[in-house]
């Protein structure tokens, strides 16, 4: 039951949820969750469960799957460290380019931000 409600077992026990519930009972609880359940669900949704992101090199197509970090910029391109900056597509007119290191293990993030030279 706790699994279906997406809450810890311990929480189900604390709130005296029956181990077995009928579909109707479950639907009722699901549609009208008590405050503690609604809160728990909101926390889970906003929670820190890691989301994986696949970075793809714009030059050679190499990928790396990483957990995104909060400090990452909105990057325009990803490129491996090993490529020359000349291999990366030109920045769009009216943007200025900066490079951010440390995104993933092998990538440089290329950020083209409005506000050019």
> Is residue 60 a contact point for Zn ion (CB under 5 A)?
yes
> Is residue 59 a contact point for Zn ion (CB under 5 A)?
yes
Stretch that binds Zn ion, among 16-24, 25-33, 58-66, 88-96 (CB under 5 A): 58-66
> Is residue 58 a contact point for Zn ion (CB under 5 A)?
no
- Closest approach of Zn ion to the CB of residue 87, in Å: 8
CA distance 22 to 44: 24
> Is residue 62 a contact point for Zn ion (CB under 5 A)?
yes
Neighbours of 28 (CB within 10 A): 12
> Is residue 12 a contact point for Zn ion (CB under 5 A)?
no
- Closest approach of Zn ion to the CB of residue 12, in Å: 48
> Is residue 64 a contact point for Zn ion (CB under 5 A)?
no
Neighbours of 59 (CB within 10 A): 17
CA distance 78 to 15: 48
CA distance 98 to 100: 7
Task: Please report where in the chains the tokens 């020359």 appear, as a residue.
Answer: 84
Q: Give contact residues for Zn ion (rule: CB under 5 A).
A: 57, 59-60, 62, 80
């Amino acid at each position: 039951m706790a699994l279906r409600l997406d809450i810890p077992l311990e929480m189900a026990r604390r709130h005296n949820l029956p181990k077995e519930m009928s579909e109707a009972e479950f639907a009722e609880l699901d549609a009208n969750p008590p405050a503690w359940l609604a809160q728990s669900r909101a926390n889970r949704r906003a929670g820190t469960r890691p989301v994986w992101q696949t970075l793809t090199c714009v030059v050679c197509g190499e990928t790396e799957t990483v957990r995104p970090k909060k400090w990452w910029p909105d990057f325009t391109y990803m490129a491996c460290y090993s490529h020359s900056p000349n291999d990366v597509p030109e920045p769009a007119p009216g943007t200025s380019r900066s490079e951010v290191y440390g995104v993933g293990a092998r990538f440089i993030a290329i950020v083209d931000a409005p506000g050019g030279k």
